[in-house]
Structure 1
């Protein structure tokens, strides 16, 4: 069974921007892990700057590395 690899508060970037508005944020903070969907962990995400929330599958996310 797959396990969630991202943690609450972690910054992530969407890797699949297909069908998203050009005004949609590309980076988000993980708010909560959610149950598996299509055998992939999913997460509730939020972008504070744009006040945008969404749910995304783990396979569509990558960590944002600190500089």
Structure 2
């Protein structure tokens, strides 16, 4: 495997999200969230573009 699960965040109905923290062999720790879009996107500051590069997540890109 190319990653190790460090922690699982069970879905929490109050926080409206759940997730997992992974340690990747060739990079740092990645945390993947799933849940209500307005909650998850509200906590994001960056995203991976189609080329795999980190991009800043500006407020206007978060609006649904």
TM-score range, shorter chain: 0.3 to 0.5
Give the TM-score normalised by the residue count of structure 2: 0.33
Give the TM-score normalised by the residue count of structure 1: 0.32
The structure whose Rg is larger is 2
Specify which structure has the bigger relative contact order, considering alpha-carbon pairs within 8 angstroms and separated by 6 or more residues: 1
Structure whose residues are more often helix by fraction = 2
